[in-house]
Structure formats: C-alpha cells, structure tokens
Amino acid sequence: MPATDLLHPRVRACLSKRGFEDLSPAQEQSIPLLVKGKHLLVIAPTGTGKTESAMLPVFGGMLSGEGGGFQALYITPLRALNRDILGRMEWWCRELGLTVGVRHGDTSTSERRKQSLSPPDLLITTPETLQALFMGSQLRKHLAKVRYVIVDEIHELAGSKRGAQLSVALERLAVYAGNFQRIGLSATVGNPEEIAAFLSGAGRSAAIVQVPISKYLDLTVVYAGEKLSRQARCVEQALATPGSHLVFTNTRVTAEALGHLLYDRGDLEVHHGSLSKEVRIAAEERFRNGEITTLICTSSMELGIDIGYVEQVVQFSSPREVSRLIQRVGRAGHRMDRVSHGTVLATGFDDLLESLVIARRAKANEVEKVRIPRGAGDVLANQVAAIAVEYGEISRTAIRAILERTAPFAGTGPLLDQVCEQMALHRLIRLEGDLVITTGRARRYLTANLSMIPDERKVPVFDMVSRRTVGTLDESFVVGWVTTGAVFITKGQLWRVLDIEDGRLIVEPATKAKGELPSWEGEQIPVPFEVAQEVGHLRGSRQVESYTDSRRSIAYVDTFLSEMDKNRSVVPTDRLITLENTDEGVICNICAGHRANEVIGRVLSLLLSARYGTSVGIEIDAYRVLLRLPGSVRAAEVKETLFSLEPSYIQGILEIGLKRTALYKWKLVQVAKKFGAIDADADFERISIHRLSELFDKTVIQQEAYRELFSAYMDVEGASRVIGDLKAGSIEVTIGRVSILGAAGLFSSRDLITPASVDPAVLGTIRRRIEEQDVILCCMHCRMWKSRTKVSRVPDQPVCPNCGAKLIAALKPWDEPLYAIANKKNKNAEERAVEVKLIRTANIVLSSGKKAVIALSGRGVGPEHASRILATLTEGDPFYREILKAERHYVQTHQFW
C-alpha cells in the first residue's frame, strides 16, 4: 500500500494542493512506521523532506485528537530554525484548521499569555524554552495533552549538554503526558542505534529510517596551493560555474579573510554566528532572492535554514570531519533526485591528504559517532533544581526514577546523591532524609540557568561610518587583545578600533593597514583519531592514485614526498612516530588527531618538566606535538619518556597536571556556575585558582570539570591506544633532524592579511548614508519657515519660500528645538549663543549651498568643522574623506568635551 494511502484524507488533499507529486524515500519509509505509533529516528540529508516525514502523519493524529492543550511539540536547536519551521507549518495548519505557535526567549509577554490561555495545537520551541514550560502551573496542564514530540537536528543536540538536559526534560514531560510518540530528525551519523536510544530513553525502542547520502555525493578534491592569494583565485574559479554557491570555512577567521579578498566581486556576503542577527537575516534573504550568488559561511549554515536552492558547495580547506563534509555538501542539490556537488579546496600537504581521506570515508558512509555525554554532573544539578521547583518537594527516589529512563543518566549510581549534597551546601535545595525541597534561591538560579550553554558576553561592533552594528566579538577576545587603534576583520572588511564605550567597540573601516584577524575561542574543529590514522597510512603507502585522479594533487604529493626522501627525512605514518630535534625543542610527529595528541603532549610536558626541573611548552595539531624544551633536553630524552609511559596511568597524570592550567580553571568556573556554587556574573579573572582548588577539590564539581575535559577536549582512549601499540612494538619510534613535514608545527601564529584599499567603498557608504539622512532647513531671515527633508533633496542653493532669502540654517533632526530657542524674544546668554550658532550655520549655507548642508550633516560636525572642510575646496571622494576625518575626530574626543 502506498504511504499516502495511510494518511488522513484531509492531509492527502493538502498534499495535492501543495503540489506533492511523489513522496521522497524518507517519507515513504517513515509514514507507515509513524502511523503505527512507533518511536522513530529519521536519518536523511538536508532538503529530503524530513520535516514532512514526521509531520504528515502527526497532522492526521492531531486532527483526530481532543485538543485543549499542546498536542505536538516541535523542538529545534536554533531560533532561526524555529522561524523557518513556523513559516512552513503555518500553511499546513491553516489548511487543516489547526493552530501553530512559536515560543522562545524573544517571544513577547502578550504572546506567552495568549499561549497560556489558549494553547496552539503545535508549539515550535527550543530545548531551553521547554525547560521554562515546566515552571508554570497552567502550562504544565497544557503539556499533559502532548501526544507527539519531534526533535529536529537531533544529532546536533545529542552530543552536547543541551541534549542531556533535553533527555531529562522529555522524561519529566512523560510524567504528565504518558507515552507520547517521539520522532527524531537527524543528519548522517556513525552510531544511529545510540542516537535512537537517546531519543526513546531507556526501556523503549525506536525504529530507524536511514537514507544514505553517499550515492548522491559528487565530491572533488582540488589542491589550491599554500598562499592565500592563490587559494582565493581557486575559490573564484569554483564560483565561475553557473548557479548559487555556499563556500564553507572551518573558522570565522577564514570566512572573514576570504570575504575580505573577494569583497569587490559584489555578489557575495559573509555569514557566521558573530555577525548580528539583522546582518545574517539580510544575507540569507539576499541569497534566497538571487541578489547575491554566494554566501561565505561557517557552521552557521550547516543546519537546515531555508535559503533556497544551492547549486554547489565549496569547502575551503579540509572539513576535518566526515560528518561535517556530508552535512555541508548535502546542502547542494537539496532534493533526492539531484546529486549534491561539492568541491574541497585543499591548502597544503596535511590538508590535501586529510581532504582525500575524508572524501573517501564520506563516499563509503564511514561517519564519526556522536559522543553522548553521560553522567554530566552540572546538567544533573540543573535538572534537580528544576524538578524541585516544579514539584515543591519530591523524593530522591522519584527523581532517580526519572533519570534512569534517560540514556545520559541511566546507571550513574551514586551521582545523584553527590549532586544533591553539593547543591544543599549552596542552598539551592534542602534535604530532609529522602526528600528534596526547593528554596527561593533555586527559582532565581533557574531563571539565570535555563540553558547549559556557558555564558560569555558578546561585545557589539559599531561602525561609525554607516552607523550600524556590524557584528560581535567574544568578551574574552576583546578583554585579551583589543585596544584603541587595533585592527581586525569582521563581515569581510578591516576595521580599526576608535573607542571602547558603553560596552561596545566603536570602529571605522581601516585602509592601507595590516590587520590581525580576530580569534574566536573554541571554534577550531578537531580531526578525529580515525581520520588522522588513515592519513598516516596514506603517507606510508603513498598510494594517492587510489584516492584521486587529479594530476595536480598527485604531482604535489609526489613532489613533497620526494623532497622528504632527498633530504633523507623519514616520513611519519600511523605505524611510525618520528622525533625531530630543532632549536625550539622537539617535534613529535604522531598521526593521532587533535584530541589524542593533546593528551600525549600534556602528559609528556608534565613528565619532562618533573624529571628535568624545567618548564615545557606545547603546541599541537592533528599530526604533531611541538615540545618547547631547553637545549639540554633532546629527542632521546623524549623517546625514553614515551616508552616509560603506561596507558593506565595517563588519566591520573593528567588530573594532577591539569590543576595548574588556565584550561582547568576556565572549565571549573563554568561548571561551578552551572552548579550555582559561583554567581553567574562572577568575573573569571578575579577568581583565584588556589581558592577554587580549596573549595572544590574532590567534589562532584571537580569531577564534572575533569569528565568534560577528558570527553570533549581530550581523547584519552586514542592516546592510550598509541602508547599501548608503541609498547607492544606495533608502532616504531625514530629520531632525526627537523623535516619539512615536521617544521609545519613551528609556524602556528596568527594570520595576517594586507588588505586592498577599501577607501572608495567606505566613502561610498558615507555618501549614501548622508544622502538618506533627514535635515531641518530653517530661515534665519524671516524666522517664519522651517522644513524637514532628505539631504539628497536639498537644492544646490536653498531659498526660503516665504521671504525669498538664502540665509538658511541646516540642522540635524535632534537639533530642531534650537530654532524655537533662537526665535525667542527674550533670551539669556546661553540662548543667545544658540542664535549666533544658527546664524553662523546659515551664513555657511549662504556661501556654499548644498555642499555646506552635506558637511553639516556629518556626525559631530558643527559650523567650525564644516568651515574647515569647505575651506579645503575638495570635491567628490576627497570631500567625503574630510567629513569622515571630522566624524572620526568627534568619536575619539567627544567624551573629553
């Protein structure tokens, strides 16, 4: 029986009206299972109708339901996705006579009240807002009617603490709503069974529908050279193909650098999470409407935000992970009957081999597993506080029953008791035997901690020229690096800091300067252990032809390895570690990925530091560890230390050594804040590391800080495998002098970019801005005429229509009240000064006409500055450059006036 025959008749009628000719494979397979009431995980590429796979049968169930509460919850990880889903669902609900609403942090109070009194059948929300729904008694009644929960982009949530929090929320919901149907929508993952179990919870089963993307992928890996100018030309060549394009980069820094180099094309925009919401939405709309053909973006475009049809995806440099490449390239084609075209532009030897390996693994559907955080103590503290507020008082036995039904907390043993005791110390709850009792502090804590995302303030970047906020920077970057005069890149352009005022950066477009690119913390994507190992194997086999038929790529690899052979350098592989002596210290070439190398590097630095009484610096990437050592410690000592390691001791050594690091302090503070042990707004820099260690040593807070560091930032398992293989003899170690391959680890520094002059674009912006500004023209002769107009509409020589005089003052709109002051019969000294200023302004307009009006419209430009600007006798761009100088002077000095 066709899947459409199983749908409600009214839903089938809407299918015809909506123009559905055929169902996609995901829809054909999902609908029968959902109609039977099964929990279901749908794994399929973006644009293959996953949303409709879930909602078509759900609509039918809602039509047959009683109503009177939220019948279905649609949960997405992003507000932007909420906006998209709402747009799609409104049509269906209107046609079917159902109601739909959206609720998140920006939802108005009136809309919230309306939902509380008259709940929509379908509520679109985020994991955090779902938490808030449990806090209202009326909303809890509406939750009791829930029969369906759809979790969109579940792969994105399952690997984070947001997902762990959501899993508990679903079990809290089940207390009211019973066994509602759970539907998860996911991109391709390497462990679908685990994700299905995460969705369904312990003791339930979920069916899986998986539509593999690999047969619809057309992937090309191109060597683009090592210089940015050459790489930018390769991007332009890729963009020369007809149609629309997404250019993905791994970091916002790279997106900004490329955006800057390609800015003059005029057909692209930069899109990433540190740009303001308005700028991002404007870029999406321009792309969707065909006004631009390219978005240079980061992970901000990975999820299913609707931007219309994409012809091709360009990945600039290795995507680092198979799942990321599949997700990104899957945005092209955007339908199951179209192949997704993707081009990876590799930027060096490591980058090229890594890209080839990832492309092969993508075509073979060898995707990384999503690592579900298990036993996260701070999430548990957050949920214990939430449950206590929800019920007033509740037994630990009842809380444990809720937790045991979740995948992240099932079987965590004494963790609940440890967390409760820690929370009682901070007066978030009271404990009376088995009872957990809420406190007033718990509700205040929850208000500030609905989300498990660590708080970091964003600092707005305000462009003085266009008078617009152009993006944001992380507070840690601003505090640590930005000073007046510093130059950085955002929105594809260079900016110079003029002032830091009222919590924002005042900037101007920078010209003819070198700019150090801003560094956003934590966005670098780590290369997994398995990918790095295969890269090592490819180095050893030298069989590049089995991965690509690109002559340019093959020739580059052959030339590189021939150079290694000519220099008698040994090539490190997955079975061979090479230690290279340099003036800086020792380079350990280990093909183990970022996280495992982080572990090996830290352990080696700790042991060498203790053994030789010297400080040891480390830098790591996916294929090498650079140990910065004194000249007395060489590769032979490093080799001896490597062989002295025991895999079972690695984690213990790390726990001791990490206590002295900034990384540990940063994570401990984050966890303590989520436990309510430190105020949410506490200043990280002012908290003593010694005080922290005294407070939280051997507590569940410290335990959680270590758990997260070892699971999210370090791969102890991968490092232990390397050390175990080394001790077993299946990995060899050799010592040599520095090679061209090892030397790549010595050149990790901030990117610098020399921009082309953006002066004409800046002056064009200021010209357009001033032309669109309002100006007040008023006659200082008859004192009877005043008019508001745009600067662009001012005649070359303004004339009073009342008396015919040309003595016309030009005022900024906020200065309009000054005209009434100047016209008073009896004036004090201050008011007479206002009149004199207006007459002086009118005389400037009398002598220079519209040009004077333009100058006077500059921010902070009064009669004196306007006279100086007009005295230069400049025209065109030089004239506007003088206005810009005056505006800059005002921004930099007005606080001292």
pLDDT at 296: 93
Where helices occur in 104-227 by DSSP H, the ranges are: 109-117, 127-133, 137-143, 154-158, 161-177, 192-200
pLDDT at 887: 83
Task: For residues 27 and 154, state if they share a domain.
Answer: yes
Which two three-digit tokens encode residue 294? 């390219």
For helices 9-18 and 50-63, angle between their N-to-C axes, nearest 10 degrees: 140
Q: pLDDT averaged over the chain?
A: 87
> Do the domain assignments include residue 444?
yes
What is the band of 303 on the pLDDT scale with cuts at 50, 70, 90?
Answer: low
What is the band of 106 on the pLDDT scale with cuts at 50, 70, 90?
Answer: confident
Which two three-digit tokens encode residue 354? 């890594």
> Do the domain assignments include residue 527?
no
**Of 329, 363, 397, which marks where a domain is finished?**
363
Task: For residues 580 and 511, state if they share a domain.
Answer: no
Rg (CA), the chain: 31
How many separate domains does the chain show?
6
Residue 879's SS3 state is helix
CA-to-CA distance for 428 and 630, rounded, in angstroms?
A: 50
> Do the domain assignments include residue 866?
yes
> Do the domain assignments include residue 563?
no
Residue 382's SS3 state is helix
pLDDT at 29: 94
- Tell me the pairing of strands 435-438 and 429-432: antiparallel
> Do the domain assignments include residue 601?
yes
Paired residues of 437 in beta bridges: 393, 430
> Do the domain assignments include residue 453?
no
- Using CA atoms, how far residue 349 sits from 182, 199, 317, 592, in Å, is 46, 41, 11, 16
Q: pLDDT tens-digit profile of 305-333?
A: 677 788 899 999 999 999 999 988 887 76
What's the whole-number mean pLDDT along residues 774-793? Answer: 94
Task: For residues 75 and 200, state if they share a domain.
Answer: yes
Tokens 């100088």, located at residue: 885
Which two three-digit tokens encode residue 83? 């906006």
Q: pLDDT tens-digit profile of 802-855?
A: 999 999 999 999 899 999 999 998 999 989 999 999 999 999 999 999 999 999
CA-to-CA distance for 85 and 222, rounded, in angstroms?
A: 36
Paired residues of 342 in beta bridges: 219, 313
pLDDT at 55: 94
Task: For residues 466 and 442, state if they share a domain.
Answer: no
Per-residue b/e over 413-445, b at no fewer than 16 CB within 10 Å?
eebbebbbebbeebebbeeeeeebebbeebeeb
CA-to-CA distance for 843 and 780, rounded, in angstroms?
A: 9
Which two three-digit tokens encode residue 497? 């800091």
CA-to-CA distance for 701 and 422, rounded, in angstroms?
A: 8
Residue 750 has pLDDT above 50, yes or no: no
- By C-alpha distance, which of 381, 549, 515, 388 is closest to 449? 381
High-pLDDT (> 70) share of the chain, %:
91
What is the band of 337 on the pLDDT scale with cuts at 50, 70, 90?
Answer: low
- By C-alpha distance, which of 870, 881, 651 is closest to 757? 881
Residue 273 has pLDDT above 70, yes or no: yes
**Between 685 and 97, the higher pLDDT residue:** 97
Backbone angles phi, psi at 95, to 5 degrees: -65, -35
CB 185, CB 50: distance < 8 Å:
yes
Task: For residues 825 and 890, state if they share a domain.
Answer: yes
pLDDT at 892: 63
pTM over 0.85: no
Which domain covers residue 198, as residue numbers? Answer: 3-210
Which two three-digit tokens encode residue 411? 């079987």
Task: For residues 195 and 333, state if they share a domain.
Answer: no
Task: For residues 9 and 150, state if they share a domain.
Answer: yes
CATH number, domain at 276?
A: 3.40.50.300
Q: pLDDT tens-digit profile of 519-538?
A: 443 346 889 999 999 999 99
Residue 8 has pLDDT above 60, yes or no: yes
pLDDT at 483: 65
**Of 746, 776, 801, which marks where a domain is finished?**
746
Task: For residues 34 and 115, state if they share a domain.
Answer: yes
Residue 747 has pLDDT above 70, yes or no: no
Task: For residues 725 and 775, state if they share a domain.
Answer: no
High-pLDDT (> 90) share of the chain, %:
57
CATH number, domain at 426?
A: 1.10.10.10
> Do the domain assignments include residue 834?
yes
Q: pLDDT tens-digit profile of 66-97?
A: 777 899 999 998 877 777 788 889 999 999 99
Residue 748 has pLDDT above 90, yes or no: no
What is the band of 757 on the pLDDT scale with cuts at 50, 70, 90?
Answer: very low
| DSSP secondary structure, 419-485, as one string | HHHHHHHTTSEEEETTEEEE-HHHHHHHHH-S--SPP-PEEEEEETTTTEEEEEEEHHHHHHT--TT
What's the whole-number mean pLDDT along residues 847-871? Answer: 91
Sheet of strand 774-779, all strands in order from the earlier edge strand to the far edge? 786-790, 774-779, 808-811
**Of 516, 536, 559, which marks where a domain is finished?**
516
CA-to-CA distance for 74 and 86, rounded, in angstroms?
A: 10
Residue 896 has pLDDT above 60, yes or no: no
Task: For residues 27 and 117, state if they share a domain.
Answer: yes
Residue 149 has pLDDT above 90, yes or no: yes
Which residue type sits at 425?
A: L
- By C-alpha distance, which of 157, 206, 183 is closest to 56? 183
What's the whole-number mean pLDDT along residues 188-217? Answer: 90
DSSP 711: I
> Do the domain assignments include residue 409?
yes
CB 434, CB 396: distance < 8 Å:
yes
Task: For residues 139 and 52, state if they share a domain.
Answer: yes
Task: For residues 188 and 285, state if they share a domain.
Answer: no
3-state helix, strand, coil in the chain (%, to 5): 50, 15, 35
Contacts of 619 (CB under 8 A, 6+ apart): 601, 625, 626, 628, 745, 748
Residue 880 has pLDDT above 50, yes or no: yes
pLDDT at 490: 64
What's the whole-number mean pLDDT along residues 264-279? Answer: 82
Residue 102's SS3 state is strand
CB 89, CB 58: distance < 8 Å:
no
